[in-house]
Chain A
């Protein structure tokens, strides 16, 4: 297996797949039938997919989500998005150089009539919000169609290998996202009134309130009575030198490659952004055997959950707060990253630049709602609601809860006899959406001659599965608020280790002070591949913040079923350290070499619009000239007229206006126009184009891979 494929993973198991041969630039390579072409190429070590026709800039994967066209390659001579095109045997692939030519052979002369379906509710997006809504709609007998552009349901849940926060009863806390996806999908399928259309992309909402969709490469039309927009979010881009080099992409794209396709796209990774998305992506990278060179965050503290941050710190990942990226460096693709400290004026401090070798830079600087259909529906007076990130960026737990609420509301609107969602649901939804609270810090208290849990969980976040799982009910949150900090009642612990196994933050240890002598037994959760830890070996243990406490012996490694692929590791720890032990250092030493290279940020040649290769300077000139209309910037520079339709550059343009001190009220936003993604013209003439959907090959999360082996 190529070095670029993930063979060992603590949570995921590579499914059986059929190897097929294909060619890239005439070179014969092997991939798997049905996997996305982009993943087959990454697995073969190919990262540059072509060169931009305007300036020859190397192009690679960017969104991995079918939205941006940056990954376009030629398959059998025709331009296709590599991330959305399934690999077939004998596929001839070429990089896209210049503008594509059309294959001379027409695809098919056969034309099908364009079908129009009428439905009560059309749900756009089969992620956590859309599925939760569909369940409530189905339960109330509402004729519903759920569409999703991927080949399986779950949205971004299928990329989430970690256990979820929140509460068990409201949003599946303690269960891994990939499993929640499967459970929700199974529940949706029970309802005959709910149809699921996979491989279906909504293209446009028209003034006659019909929605045009591309379903399995066929153009179809749906006329809904109500629309639920559960289309999720897209990642924000960032302006810096080299920001369009292959190897710079979003955390979502990365998780798609790693967790869905089980490709290892990187050997050395740097993460920009310390929110939950960046912190979790870095953890997933470590689990996939990728070295995380560092993570930088512009604020003085990471914005994500402290438990996520602590997990990384304990793995030895350097976290640079108050730092920003200055540049991605490399000729054809990323070779290194330069960061700098931000001063009190939030500008990079001269002389603080540091350059780290890295082949991949993940941008995780926030999300923006995908809400085009929401706005269009409001404009065209189609009854519409949004749920999940399309409505408000928050955790998936909140998305599921809001989905249920919206589902019930729509059922009521459509005349179903169902009561309104209980008022406390709205309160719960608000709690689930709440930002992490103050970091309160640890308060460790030993209970002599006893066994008890220790909570390395010093920050208020909406999460309580530990209180639910304890069979003796001896873990409580004072006041019962989901956001409160858990504590041990002081008696009753039977040492079952279930709380240790379940905690989504990997932040509970079990300390056993019953044995006499100098050492205590501490049980820790461990989420790296099994071969990374052995009974009898000596490991370095760390405290909550990642500081080294000392070296201790591994007594036992278990993988009980209830731990759901996590390992439970028992250590023999000197009694005085037992309460502080929070993690085991297992990350390989991170390369920290400082290259003596001082780079000035070159602002005006940074690319704002990656599709049309428009540099910031061209836009700044117009703003300086008094232009305040996005549409004029578009007309003159073409920024926003490319394949992604301005999805990527709009926030960057807004930022340029802000930087130049323009009041946003003076600025006219760009006119929103169909289509959401590019579609072959023939589709609208009833000609099926393309080669069928990406097959359902990826992550099948094997049920019991560890049992018997330990």
Chain B
């Protein structure tokens, strides 16, 4: 009762807060009153003609276009209204506008308008307006409309004459010069009402649909004809019924001056990334360049978010940020559904915003979670712009939906109404009732300001941009020419927002650039403008359409912070020619005219779109992961423990002085030994056991001399989560080498039993001249979270081992032997899941955990890999530990760890592993209510509704205090891949690594001491996380190079999206290569010298 009362109180206070019109502090933005601006526009929805049940996109809202349509130097605004008349507001200065819609003749005749774009379609220096409509559906009529600007305040609708009077499901048009002939062509984004009842094969995208398929129109203006030609099919543009297009943006993603296209598609269809081939065609390459995308992708934007002058891509989705809304809303697919979509040919998609960071190598890394921008509720329009003129772009995101159909209580429990389905009741009235029952919830838009190289924080409240709304299209534009970008937002059933940017005293300098093309199109769409200031450069591309159903003025706006001087401005025109000028002064708008003679120079960074693999050597081995689904048995397991391979090992096994390779097999796949030939080729050396031992899943291997005969013997660790401890299919194998590369299984050499293994590390630990072993085990199969047995085995000198140490240390992934403290005795460093970086020291013939090692206390991670090297050159071995990274749904800290509770909560004889993580002051379960209740049905009894479940904010809300008390609790307080620098005193200090390292999991670390001393190679990515976590695919490989200022990351020769599990160095024909050993893929050889 008390809690309820508190809630009511808080709610009341919240209401009070809302009624106060003026923000308390002098915030940067001020919402202007329509009575002062005269912009009294409301996109009002009547729900009369159609509704959301008949038309899925009923609440998508309208768009905004901003541009100076009368060339008076003031930016005017156009709003689309879905049902009502579209409006054009002429800027009269000082934030006073005049509705000139009727006189201008732009209100249009379409029954349902969507997007709007301002562009100079006929290249006469006056911005024209193209309005997208929905026509020919459920009684909605109307073709798309092209309002040609007559230059006198009036417009003439000319879509038919221009061949652009498309009728169908248009969302938005973008004008751009794809063939770089000097006139603006048009990509028309259409959505679809194709049933999403079933997914159908992805090959459906190759079919054509006249009303839902996207179109590409070529402008014939330069050929002397004011008319467009539909070139969709010949240009290679998909135009099918499964193109649920909700966002389109154009930009040169691969820096070849040919504009590329990114299309966001709703539902199960992939997004499309069309790479312009420069010959009038496009090649769709999303899956080659991007690991995963948003699922219900809505609006999108391209722009540089990290200051490397490469266009990044933002796509928006509908993931709630508020834990309560999150817990009662439908979000990720169940595993089965996800699998079916993949089998149908669709790419990986998750219900969250995507931040596709352009890596400059043809690939993108999706880092929205690391950046802190992945969850902004039901989101529509992203705006990338420098709102505070500090030289770094902000990201403004509109969101809100008038009726919220993804409410789980609605989905599961509202249906009784529709039991009248078979009765005579008119379906209209049932729809009406169903819609009335749909929950409504107003949330505020998000404003993200950069708070690090790749990180953002929401400053909406501080900046005065937190007015709750159902917001859709939005544009940033300088409405009063004060050099600060204002915001214009189109809302459903609410006054459109005009936010005046007042600055806040610290407002930096700026420079605005408009272009006037001669050979290029009039406003220079597609040109790139670079501003050079004191060794720093900022680049922007001139575009029209961005965000959601919206378009911006064709100009560049640069915030310059406290920079007092611009050294030069360089324009690269769509023709490819450069033009450089040195402007005088700052804080103004420059208009740059295209010169007839520009210079053509090669750009400094040229992005190779090469996506071929560096597979060098034949015969090609390819690891094949078997498709065991761990979560068919362990519903709550957060990631697979059955996909840890392959094993690999490099060494000279036949004494010819050449490096040979062992590659392990997946389950049912034989591991193979390849002998290097004199010519640098590799030939498989068949072994007697090759076929027989295919049943083992080889997860780790090592070549070492086990029996003291100086030949390299082979140990192969078996793993897998499908069989129980003790299963013969889990036995580790020691194979003795006869010196010629013939290996024989040494039976009974290894006494430690059969486990889901993870690693072996050979070392002479007792100084008796033979090699002893650490054997690490990953898990207790079928029981996620339980600690597995770990072993140290001592060699009798003849290759027969006995157990010297056995302890359930945890879920071990990797280990290393090193004399950490210089006492001439080796220590064992062990890492794993829910474990700290652990040091075992030898003590009286056995080993014990060294307690309280300073600097390693708070190192509980989901560790994946380990390397020991003297990183700082002080002669002491330091620790580099690979973790899952911080591009995760959960990012733990010491204060806010991720927690795992292990107990048989439902008393059915099986341990239930329940993971909680901190979100906005609450500790909430990672798994959905449905998944938790599947594992523990009593939760359905405890929580009758999702609304009730949504209040869960700590483990005690889910389970009884007693059950919590009796459970085993594990936690992780860092997901950061980390360096721990060894101090002579036996203590360690954390040293951070380049932020890029945290983009993905780090599964393998190799410190190069021979070829490029100090270089650290890192292999990463893990595709087998649960759908709730989503796959880690943002970084297959990264190189860290030592500089005087620490390590610097680059993605040298990284050009595949793969999961790297091992890194090996091999010398082939005298040349060193790094081998990237991939799970479920072919190894890749990268020359490193």
The yes or no verdict on A and B being binding partners is no
Chain B residues near A (Cβ < 8 Å):
none
